[in-house]
Amino acid sequence: QARRTAGVDKNLWVEFTQLAADYKPVNLGQGFPDFSPPQFVQDAFCKAVCGGPSMHQYTRAFGHPPLVKSLAKFFSRIVGCEIDPLEDVLVTVGAYQALFCAFQALVDEGDEVIIIEPFFDCYQPMVKMTGGKAVYVPLRPVSIPSSGDWVLSAEELASKITARTKAIVINTPNNPIGKVYKTEELQMIADLCIKHNMLCISDEVYEWLTYDGAKHVKIASLPGMWERTITVGSAGKTFSATGWKVGWAIGSGNIMKHLKTIHQNTVYHCATAAQEAVAQGFEREYELFGTPESYFQQLPAMLHLKRKKLASCLEGVGLQPVMPEGGYFMIADISSVSNPEHSKEFDKYIRFCFVKDSTLDAAEDILRKWS
Ligand code: PMP
Ligand code: GLN
């Protein structure tokens, strides 16, 4: 057994999926849609699959040309700089592989990587597998009602930076809290990145899912940050197609070339037809951007209602949810119904997923009977 596999053998999702299969509970845990992607990307996928031999064979290793072009075109407008489709974009097997390539390409043994707690679980084992060291800094609640009330202290963050700090990982909108970082908060992180010459790995898979006017801001769009940020995205979350496993990393070509080295020597390339469909999806969204027909407007509008439904369901049984400003998840303090030993800061909270209609309805039923 290689040392890099030690201590990373347990996986939350592997375990949960098995438990869910064995006991068939109402699964408010794992977050993925229980509905189909929008018709236009389904049609694009079907068309791609029936579109002749090239759609069934390898395409360009670092991303199918139509997809890297449409990602570059779409995100140039948002980041506010000219993104080069061939240099600055890497298509990956979901956001997971984009993160994996970033850590493997940029973090050396002994390097430190700052992770903001609470965090999506994979950052920790991925840092460990590089031989680097994860250093944690918590978001702290100044009050409970909204994820916006959970804040990162500049002093506390600065106190964690050492000569070995290579990068900081941020996740906005955040999984599990749903915090959407405000420009001032991102600027504080950016100032420290620039001052201490740190890279920023920004996981933005829930970028289109914001509520109540919260605005997603890309840290890569702040002055001096494009050249040190790797922005990670996912078609799984963008088009509600988690099973397609199309993701991407976007950043300056001189950084991206190292992620490409990892990619070409691990998976080499991703499914062609799925990339073609995602490219078509982005082309459509580029044209409809900001209009009510855009899926990037329709999806959050739909989830906004589900968020409300879960919140009132939890409140109905005496739990106090932290209202998320973004994402698929809501956390609630369960101390009033269960009394766990609070060994860690976040142990009294549990996370509920509100994207799946079938589980929301079933959970509502159970909780109503129980209360
Ligand atoms: N980052 C976050 C915050 C996630 O919640 C997830 C899982 N949905 C991923 C990355 C991985 O995304 P993908 O399914 O595209 O690999
Ligand atoms: N991102 C999803 C979640 O946080 C699922 C991740 C997974 O299934 N590996 O629930």
Starting from the CA of residue 20, give the closest ligand: 2
pLDDT for the residue 318: 87
Q: Is it the case that residue 344 has pLDDT exceeding 80?
A: no
Determine the Cα–Cα distance for residues 47 and 162; give it in Å rounded to an integer: 52
pLDDT for the residue 343: 55
Q: Is it the case that residue 341 has pLDDT exceeding 70?
A: no
Determine the Cα–Cα distance for residues 86 and 69; give it in Å rounded to an integer: 8
Please give the ipTM for the structure prediction.
0.97
Banded pLDDT at 358 (limits 50, 70, 90): confident
Task: Mention the CATH class of domain 39-288.
Answer: alpha beta
pLDDT for the residue 272: 98
> What pTM does this model have?
0.96
Q: Where are the domains of the chain?
A: 3-36+294-370, 39-288
Determine the Cα–Cα distance for residues 96 and 152; give it in Å rounded to an integer: 25
Superfamily of domain 3-36+294-370: Aspartate Aminotransferase, domain 1 (3.90.1150.10)
Average of per-residue pLDDT across 193-209: 98
64 contacts: CB under 8 Å, gap ≥ 6:
91, 270, 272, 275, 276, 279
Q: Is it the case that residue 359 has pLDDT exceeding 90?
A: no
pLDDT tens track for 274-302: 999 999 999 999 999 999 999 999 999 99
pLDDT tens track for 122-155: 999 999 999 999 999 999 999 878 999 999 999 9
Q: Residue whose CA is closest, atom 1 of ligand 2?
A: 31
Q: From 100, 175, 177, 206, give the residue whose CB has the most ligand 1 atoms within 8 Å, as the site to mutate.
A: 175
Q: From 32, 121, 328, 351, give the residue whose CB has the most ligand 2 atoms within 8 Å, as the site to mutate.
A: 32
